[in-house]
Amino acid sequence: MKMLMTDKSDGTKEIQMDYTRLRVPFGPVHPALKEPISLRITARKEEILDVDIMLGHVHRGIEALAENRNLVQALYLVERICGICSHSHTTCFIQALEEIGEIKPSERALYLRTLIFELERMHSHLFLLGIMAYEVGFDTLFMFTWHVRENVLDLFEEITGNRVHHSMNTTGGVRWDLPPHIVGKVSASMTSIEKSVKYIYDVFQDKTVEKRLYGVGELNYSEARELCVVGPTARGSGVNMDVRRDYPYAAYGELKKGFSVVVRESADAYARTEVRILELFESINIIRTILDELPNGPISTEESVLKLMRIIPEGETVSMVEAPRGELLYFVKTNGKEGLWRLKVRTPTIPNVLGLKPMLIGCEIADIPVTVASIDPCMACANRITLVDPDKGEAKVTDVSTLRRRGRKQ
Amino acid sequence: MRVTTRSRIKSPWLFHLNTGSCAGCDIEIVAALTPRYDVERLGCILVGSPRHADVLLVTGPVTRQMLPRFIRVYEQVPEPKVVVAVGTCAASGSPFIGSQMIEGPMDKIIPVDVYVVGCPPRPEAIVRGVVTAVKSKFG
């Protein structure tokens, strides 16, 4: 931005603003929460003209590493791809191995996998709703949502012994059973969580939240199809897709009637948030159905995991699951010698992050935090922003709280 | 005891840096701030700039892209500072050891005061790690 000062004949000064393009690097590493990402934004006045997205700050070379590990080690390695949807990653990987090795897990094991899967979806969605509330400037709601989320983490701890990386899956089944006294705890917890989620939904329909989220970060149906966005981001844009219904895995084939796919047409940040809130209710329904219909039987095969690893032959397959953020796809090629030739992972955040470009163009700078949070990219919160003046070459560093204040004023 | 030291112990300001972790440790750090554990009642605040911080909480095995930024952030934290390595990745690099993209473990790069191990450590463990670090360095 240039400021021109001209002296008038009557002695006063006139200031003219010349608004040229302003480059705003969003990120790359910013320290506060979750994964670093870098967005380079070009803006005029407040309006965003162009967005450039850079990824790869957390590249740990997991695919290459997995080729040097045996199958059991690789299972624990893929779990560490993401701390929020770790169970999705292991389920996807284990499904591929079971398909190659023609191992059939028992019905009970599949139901338990689904149970943890839905609990994970709940914890992930509550996590995001809290972040959304924080970006909107509603700290009380943020704290309340995270308080509810702790109840889900308690259930994880009760069932698997871990809060974040559950290590539930193993070749041919699951590692932990669900004893009757925990069934009661889970169902009691579901009742209290449902009550809290209803309250959260009410608060999200409040005028202040609506005003901040309505019409922000729009991604229309054709753009969503073109960019192949997945999960709640796609469903918020009216794309009716869900791997759980379209290509059932684990126990979703039998639970198909127990849930519906939530789709919203309005395609803005509020639609994506609403899809997540309503999916929480669907998850609660699925969990209740699982608890009612849980079949009896063993939870894993009798052979040891090491023995199973040896019998998995050379082969390749593709496996898909619906992770909390959308479709997660694995390509697995085993070498028949307890190891892997190739592992390819396509996480849902990659297509969703590309959707940020059409969402942000035309928005205002103050809308960046809300829009970025609304796709749930695992790095939702604070990113520091440097405002660069291209004419003077000066860089002004603002932290995200300044930006958030700007967002909240609107 | 000087006033600054006393206030540092009473309310340590934290800065959190992700050097390529899986977000597991990061959500546990945030969980420590939310009502169940609520470290703000003990005077801890998660600040947005390293220049305001007394304690640097670092998660993740340092990746190649993050290495120069990590060093820069470390240098931006004013002295006296405490570094707490949160998670097993930060302490030893496991399970990513052997990857060409990993420059860690962390103590090869900067001096670490306290290691909080676990994959991920519980919020209580993180709180205890911070308390130990603050007591040993400032106390």
- Name the nearest CA neighbour of A282 among A240, A337, A244, A328: A244
Average pLDDT on A340-367 reads 83
Question: The domain A62-347 belongs to what CATH superfamily?
Answer: Cytochrome-c3 Hydrogenase, chain B (1.10.645.10)
Average pLDDT on A178-182 reads 89
Which residue from A58, A83, A142 is facing B27, i.e. has the nearest CB? A83
Q: How far is A223 from chain B (nearest CA, A)?
A: 29
Q: Is the pLDDT of residue A234 over 60?
A: yes
Q: Is A55 part of the contact surface with chain B (CB cutoff 8 Å)?
A: no
| CA dist., res. A408 & res. A138, Å (int) | 9
User: Are A318 and A99 in contact, with CB atoms under 8 Å apart?
Assistant: no
Q: Is A36 part of the contact surface with chain B (CB cutoff 8 Å)?
A: yes
Q: Is the pLDDT of residue A286 over 60?
A: yes
Predicted confidence (pLDDT) per residue in A141-178, tens digit: 889 999 999 999 999 998 998 888 888 888 888 888 88
Sign of CA dihedral B4, B7, B8, B13: negative
Q: Is the pLDDT of residue A198 over 90?
A: yes
Q: Please judge whether A77 and B95 are an interchain contact, meaning their C-beta atoms are less than 8 angstroms apart.
A: yes
- Name the nearest CA neighbour of B63 among B106, B24, B23: B106
Instruction: Please name the helix (run of DSSP H) or strand (run of DSSP E) that holds residue B86, with its range, or none.
Output: strand B82-86
> 3-state DSSP call for residue A300?
coil
Q: Tell me the pLDDT band of A24, cut-offs 50, 70 and 90.
A: low
Predicted confidence (pLDDT) per residue in A65-107, tens digit: 888 888 888 988 888 888 888 899 999 999 999 999 888 889 9
Average pLDDT on A225-238 reads 89
Q: Please judge whether A57 and B73 are an interchain contact, meaning their C-beta atoms are less than 8 angstroms apart.
A: no
Predicted confidence (pLDDT) per residue in B38-68, tens digit: 888 888 888 878 888 889 999 888 888 788 8
pLDDT at residue A121, rounded to an integer: 92
pLDDT at residue A119, rounded to an integer: 92
Q: What are phi and psi of A42, to 5 degrees?
A: -105, 130
Q: Domain spans of chain B? A: 3-134
Residue with tokens 């740990």: A60
From A41-45, A128-132, A251-255, A304-308, the region with the lowest mean pLDDT: A41-45
Token pair of A161 as six digits: 């012994």
Q: In the beta sheet, which residues pair with residue A169?
A: A174
Average pLDDT on A121-131 reads 90
Q: Please judge whether A33 and B15 are an interchain contact, meaning their C-beta atoms are less than 8 angstroms apart.
A: no
Predicted confidence (pLDDT) per residue in A310-353, tens digit: 888 999 999 999 988 888 889 999 988 888 998 888 888 888 88
| CA dist., res. B125 & res. B39, Å (int) | 12
Question: What dotted CATH number matches B3-134?
Answer: 3.40.50.12280
Sign of CA dihedral A201, A202, A203, A204: positive
DSSP letter string, B54-78: SEEEEESPPBTTTHHHHHHHHHHSP
Q: Is the pLDDT of residue A191 over 90?
A: yes
Complex-level ipTM: 0.89
Q: In the beta sheet, which residues pair with residue A318?
A: A331
Q: Is the pLDDT of residue A33 over 90?
A: no
Q: pLDDT tens, position by position, for chain B (139 residues)? A: 788 888 888 888 888 888 888 888 888 988 888 888 888 888 888 887 888 888 999 988 888 878 888 888 899 888 888 999 998 988 888 888 888 888 878 888 899 999 999 888 999 999 999 889 888 887 7
| CA dist., res. A74 & res. A88, Å (int) | 15
Q: Is the pLDDT of residue A395 over 70?
A: no
Q: What is this structure's pTM?
A: 0.86
Token pair of A360 as six digits: 């942000």
Q: Domain spans of chain A? A: 21-57+362-409, 62-347
Residue with tokens 């695919």: A63
